[in-house]
Amino acid sequence: MSKSEAREENNKLGEAQGLPDELGAVLARISGAERVDQYGQAVIAIDAAAWAEVAVQLKEAGFESLVDMCGVDYQGYEAGSALGTRFEVVVNLISCSYGARLRVRIGVDGEAPVCPSVCAVWPGANWFEREAFDMFGIEFTGHPELSRILMPDDWSGHPLRKDFAVGAIPVQFSGAPRPQ
Amino acid sequence: MPEQVELEGIAAEADRARTDEGAQKMRGRDETGSLELAYEKGNAAGARKAVMTNEPWSDVSDDDETMIINMGPQHPSTHGVLRLMLELDAETVVRVKPVIGYLHTGMEKTAETLTFTQGATNVTRMDYLAPMSNELCWALTVEKLLDLEIPPRATAIRVLMAELNRISSHLVSLATQGMDLGAISMMIYGFREREEILSFFEKCSGLRMNNDYIRPGGVAADLPPDWESDVAKIVETFPAHIDEYEELLTENPIWRERTIGVGSVTVEQCYALGLTGPILRAAGKAWDLRVDQPYCGYETYDFDVITGTNGDVFDRYKVRVGEMRESIKIVKQVLDRMPEGDYRSQDKKVTPPPRIRIDESMEALIHHFKIFTEGYKVPAGEVYCAIESPRGEIANYLVSSGSSKPWRLHVRAPSFANLQGLAPMMEGGLLADAVAVIASTDPVMGDVDR
């Protein structure tokens, strides 16, 4: 078996092995959620508009905890984003009771992307959403206080976007004179 | 002199501008939305109802009786440049808002400009008290994309290093927590014993910290010839050291008074806020990725997951002490069964030729040069790989575009998530207990801010 075949096999197995049957059945019922498993890890792709509703369903299904959330910028990505949008919000959930893990890829598009906030579902999303806003300028509607978290408050631009150059701007400090 | 007064006024204004955090700072209650207030009061996890319904808080007392003060960023008890803005009613903490980002150096952006080989030196600097966990997580993530088989000896060396690092990291946690609560001897003992482990790391990798020892493909070098006696010495002497700490702290009435019942969180709050590691286990949930989603063959080692019951500062301390004993158990098992063989994968795409070959072969020289200048290409795809660091779940989310540099690296930093737990832990407690609570969450600011 060649390596790529082995990987394909591995991916196929993931669909069956990544999640216990109960959770797999719940995922199958969620409309608009497409299984796009990779490397044996359970992944679903959804549209930003559906996220708030899907989040509630996932929480009820047993994913108690949101452990990670981040943005990704696919501008200039050769193969193109799998979801066809410039940005993605990637959420990682765990279910301690099932011992399972699920990744949710949410496609968000445009120069000023918008995504619903899930702070009301998993309060821990608060800082992760602030970070994604800070780094990518993704606006989370319904977030209690969407402000920058890692960069200074008067910073302009969103540093992890692909059109934000590395090292092109001298280090800014809060209150220091701006480069002209 | 009116002129001087005016100048002083300008200087004070400039000072204020320099320390102002804008929208990130804590504001008075009248300027704060009710949702935001719920988070700062730590009720978002416990009383989700208020968050969902957007109702105002009924117990908001008069603003005049409270004051907002700063703790940090330059404060010995904040374990780095962590700034806490606390609203105090006399000595009681009413709400708290951590302000972070002082150590932000854009390591996730930097990672996009470094090859997969160089990536290890980048991530190892994030959680600088547990560099081996960072490196291990990075290596496992890249190897997953590469579909690379790791020789058993390399895996065993990784387990050995990760567990020794867990002990040294918990030692710092205990030491600094001891100092914060006035047990200065603990500070000295903790750092003294940690040095024995760091000396061993130095022997193996050349560096005490930021080792860059665990790399995609295996480890950087084989263990030194006399490693067994070094590790055996650690395994023999450490249980007695840990007994000593327990004698010093566990039964100490002052220590118990300061920690029992302080800063409690429930399992539900941990789930809601994404708290992992010793905090979750101290609350009573036996969730340890080494057992629940094993990697590096942890399922073949015999060890226990230590849990607490109350989720307070004391239980978190006890969990860490217990985990050190379990780590010693694992290290002992590695010592007994260290397999012979390669310490890195023999896949020529990833592993450079041995040093000796470079003297004999032009091709080997070119091969070596290529790997370290251009790097190796990693198949396109995205993967999330999580392991159990001393602070909880550390994970790398890696998107590769098929080139020799990552398209996007996101690090799920355990300290970042755990800091969100400060609000429910501190609310309603005393200011003096805030110090104990910070120490018990064991934050590493390099990990928080990246």
Per-residue burial over A42-81, b if 16 or more Cβ lie within 10 Å, else e, is: bbbbbebebbbebbebbbebbbbbbbbbbbbbbeebeeeb
Inspect the interface and report whether the beta carbons of B18 and A175 lie closer than 8 Å: yes
| Structural domain includes residue B7 | no
Taking contacts as CB-CB distances below 8 angstroms, the residues of chain B near A39 are 144-145, 381, 383
Same domain, yes or no: B282 and B187: yes
Query: pLDDT tens digit string along A86-102?
Result: 899 999 999 888 888 88
Inspect the interface and report whether the beta carbons of A148 and B287 lie closer than 8 Å: no
Query: pLDDT tens digit string along B378-424?
Result: 988 889 999 999 999 999 999 998 889 999 999 999 999 999 888 88
| Structural domain includes residue B4 | no
- Domains of chain A by start residue, with CATH: 3-107 (3.30.460.80)
Same domain, yes or no: B89 and B113: no
Give dist(CA B338, CA B360) in Å, integer.
Answer: 32
Inspect the interface and report whether the beta carbons of B408 and A175 lie closer than 8 Å: no
DSSP string, A91-137: EEEEETTTTEEEEEEEEE-SSS-EEE--TTT-TTHHHHHHHHHHHH-
Residues within 8 A of B (CB atoms), A 97-136 only: 99, 101, 103, 119-120, 122-124, 126-128, 135
Same domain, yes or no: B239 and B382: yes
Inspect the interface and report whether the beta carbons of A145 and B36 lie closer than 8 Å: yes
For chain B, how many structural domains are there in total? 2
| Structural domain includes residue B3 | no
Q: Which residue has the higher pLDDT, B6 or B363?
A: B363
Give dist(CA B218, CA B62) in Å, integer.
Answer: 60
Burial of B253 (0-12, 13-18, 19+ CB in 10 A): exposed
Inspect the interface and report whether the beta carbons of B101 and A151 lie closer than 8 Å: yes
DSSP string, B203-270: HHHS-SSS---EETTEESSPPPTTHHHHHHHHHHHHHHHHHHHHHHHTT-HHHHHHHTTSS---HHHH
Give dist(CA B257, CA B254) in Å, integer.
Answer: 5
Does residue B343 contact residue B221 with C-beta atoms inside 8 Å? Answer: yes
pLDDT score at A3: 45
Structural domain of B437? 21-102+424-450
Angle at the Cα of B396 from the Cα atoms of B394 and B399, rounded to 5 degrees: 170
Mean pLDDT computed over every residue of chain B: 86
Give dist(CA B71, CA B331) in Å, integer.
Answer: 39
Per-residue pLDDT of chain A (180 residues; tens, 9 = 90+): 444 454 444 444 334 346 777 777 777 777 767 777 777 788 888 888 888 888 888 888 888 899 999 999 988 887 767 777 889 999 999 988 888 888 899 988 888 889 999 988 888 898 999 999 999 999 999 888 888 888 888 888 888 988 887 765 556 666 766 655
Same domain, yes or no: B203 and B114: yes
Q: Does residue B360 carry a pLDDT above 80?
A: yes
What's the token pair of residue B31?
């300027």
Same domain, yes or no: B277 and B392: yes
Same domain, yes or no: B135 and B55: no
What's the token pair of residue B417?
């998530």
Give dist(CA A115, CA A129) in Å, integer.
Answer: 10
Does residue B100 contact residue B418 with C-beta atoms inside 8 Å? Answer: no
Which residue, B311, B387, B382, B445, is CA-closest to B134?
B387
Give dist(CA B263, CA B311) in Å, integer.
Answer: 8
Cα A75–chain centre separation: 16
Which residue, B283, B282, B322, B278, is CA-closest to B303?
B322
Residue B254 CB partners (closer than 8 Å, separation 6+): B181, B182
CATH number for position B258: 1.10.645.10
| Structural domain includes residue B202 | yes
Burial of B3 (0-12, 13-18, 19+ CB in 10 A): exposed
Does residue B425 contact residue B315 with C-beta atoms inside 8 Å? Answer: no
